[in-house]
């Protein structure tokens, strides 16, 4: 029987309509001094919100809440680890399933986050906005002392972990935003976000045949472009890892396990694209990427939560994820 505790039936697909992601997030930024940010481009295709509240960088003050099931949240976990910020910003890990109210800390003893003392991420949002009207999303950064959410604006979270928290990076942290390729990288990230990261959702949450087929064609045009781009380079921008690779990887890691079947992105599997498959496995072999990729949680999230697409909530046994290692 379907598990209604983990269902948000009907909340993803709007009949007859194309999927349109709500990109309205809490705009606050955590900046080096609590003042003006050091950098104001996050590869989002739009500028930072003017006059957005700012909070100061302070080790131990904040907790990153990020579910490994969620691609947008996994970005933040990967960047945190790449930059060596594990002892500077703690991480809370909700479980892979949730109901219409919130992500829950069901992986922790007693179902309570051991630092925040919360059962639901919703509590951090309501601590700051008692009538918060939007979705309770991850990643979210929470101020530990007050229990209040600071921001859930996922592109800016990883951007600011690099630029604003730089004083606390490990000595061997990679340059995720290299100045010499910055402009091109912004263009690459924008295309990856629009056509791949969000493109798979436009396929999966399409409310009509026409909307689905248009989304499908756009997705595969860019997947082919990426396959070609990677034929003579190790990573998207050359021989070193950048933010662009983090953003693409989290979609590729979910492609065969979820998006190929569940979201009907089924022209072919990732494993059948030699350059993208080599690239994805290269990243996965690195601890920050592989260590934050949990295929079981990924499958449980999509197949159990999105009951308007998968009403039986049956989670497929395949594919064989051992081939990643």
Q: Which of 65, 87, 259 is nearest to 168 (CA)?
A: 87
- DSSP annotation string for 162-224: HHTSGGGS-TT---SS-GGGHHHHHHHHHHHIIIIITHHHHHHT-SSHHHHHHHHHHHHHHHH
According to DSSP, the residues that pair with 148 across neighbouring strands are: 143
CA distance linking residue 322 with residue 324, whole number of Å: 5
Q: Is 72 annotated as a binding residue?
A: no
Q: What is residue 300's three-state secondary structure? A: helix
Residue 201 a catalytic site member = yes
- Residue 143: phi and psi, rounded to 5, are -75, 120
Q: Which of 273, 317, 316, 321 is nearest to 295 (CA)?
A: 321
Selected catalytic residue, list 25, 70, 279, 284: 70
Q: Which of 241, 209, 324 is nearest to 278 (CA)?
A: 324
Selected catalytic residue, list 62, 125, 201, 303: 201
CA distance linking residue 33 with residue 30, whole number of Å: 8
Residue 70 a catalytic site member = yes
Q: Please list the active-site residues.
A: 70, 201
Q: Which residues are annotated as a binding site for glutathione?
A: 103
């Amino acid at each position: 029987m379907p598990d209604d505790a983990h269902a948000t039936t009907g909340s993803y697909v709007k009949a007859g309509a194309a999927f349109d992601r709500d990109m309205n997030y809490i705009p606050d930024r955590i900046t080096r001094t609590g003042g003006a940010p050091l950098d104001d481009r996050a590869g989002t295709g739009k500028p930072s919100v003017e006059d957005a509240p700012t909070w100061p960088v302070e080790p131990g003050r904040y907790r990153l809440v990020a579910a490994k099931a969620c691609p947008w949240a996994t970005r933040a976990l990967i960047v945190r680890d790449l930059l060596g910020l594990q002892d500077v910003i703690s991480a809370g890990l909700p479980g892979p399933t949730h109901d219409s109210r919130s992500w829950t800390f069901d992986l922790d003893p007693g179902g309570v986050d051991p630092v925040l003392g919360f059962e639901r991420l919703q509590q951090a949002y309501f601590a700051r906005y008692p009538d918060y009207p939007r979705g309770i999303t991850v990643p979210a950064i929470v101020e530990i002392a007050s229990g209040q959410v600071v921001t859930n604006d996922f592109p800016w979270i990883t951007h600011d972990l690099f630029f604003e928290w730089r004083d606390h990076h490990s000595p061997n942290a990679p340059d995720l935003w290299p100045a010499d390729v910055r402009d091109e990288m912004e263009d690459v990230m924008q295309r990856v976000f629009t056509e791949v990261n969000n493109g798979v959702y436009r396929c999966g949450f399409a409310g009509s045949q026409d909307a689905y087929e248009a989304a499908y064609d756009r997705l595969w045009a860019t997947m082919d472009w990426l396959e070609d781009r990677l034929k003579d380079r190790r990573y998207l921008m050359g021989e070193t890892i950048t933010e662009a690779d983090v953003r693409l990887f989290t979609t590729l890691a979910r492609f065969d396990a979820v998006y190929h079947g569940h979201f009907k992105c089924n022209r072919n599997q990732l494993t059948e694209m030699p350059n993208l498959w080599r690239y994805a496995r290269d990243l996965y072999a690195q601890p920050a990427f592989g260590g934050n990729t949990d295929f079981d949680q990924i499958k449980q999230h999509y197949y159990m939560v999105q009951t308007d697409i998968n009403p039986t909530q049956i989670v497929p046994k395949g594919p064989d994820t051992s081939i990643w290692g």
